[in-house]
Amino acid sequence: MVTLLYEQSGLLGVSGISGDMRTLIDSDDPLAAEAVDLFVYRIAREIGSLAAAIGGLDTLVFKAGIRQNAPYIRERAGAVAGWLAVNIDHKLNGRGDEVISLAGSDVDALVIPTDEERAVGIQHLCASSFVARTLSAEPDATRAAGVSTCQEFGGSSMVR
């Protein structure tokens, strides 16, 4: 079961070819195209769901693998979110600029790097700070750890 869920599902499970988006985009196989289409559909579904929940969008941010290696996916995601006034500039997107929306767009589209090691470190400091605060008489243990605020909101932390 673990092998099925962690190694044979997702893009690989749909395409039967690869779990690597770059390989699927470059492939002529219809199953690769179906996997890419399904991926874009899931992005569109999440954008739409979140936009509805918060009453619209000011900015659409692409991070992680979509930031690094997938201008095609960013462009398609922008196209399916066009009803939210997301307008991706083809040239800026292809170059991987930080701002990839057309000038004057109602919604900014940004490509932002993800520092996963920093995020893990922040989570560790927050957890350590919580333990330090509960075990120590010193209420400012977080300051000593270099963390100003460790409020948890769905797994993210606010830090300086």
For 19-87, give the secondary structure using H, E and C.
CCHHHHHHCCCHHHHHHHHHHHHHHHHHHHHHHHHHCCCCEEEECHHHHHHCHHHHHHHHHHCHHHCEC
Residue 92: per-residue pLDDT = 94
| φ, ψ (nearest 5 deg) of residue 104 | 85, 5
Q: What is the pLDDT of residues 10-45, one digit of tens each?
A: 888 888 898 888 899 999 999 999 999 999 999 999
What local confidence, expressed as pLDDT, does residue 122 receive? 74
- pLDDT on residue 157: 36
d(CA 138, CA 141): 6
C-alpha separations of 60 from 1, 85, 97, 127 in Å? 36, 10, 14, 30
Predicted pLDDT of residue 90: 94
Helix 71-80 to helix 30-54 angle, to the nearest 10 degrees? 50
Task: Tell the CATH topology of 2-111.
Answer: Nucleotidyltransferase; domain 5 (3.30.420)
The values of phi and psi at residue 55, to 5°, are: 80, 30
Statement: the pTM of the whole predicted model exceeds 0.85: no
| pLDDT tens digits along 80-107 | 988 988 999 999 999 988 999 999 889 9
pLDDT at position 14 is: 87
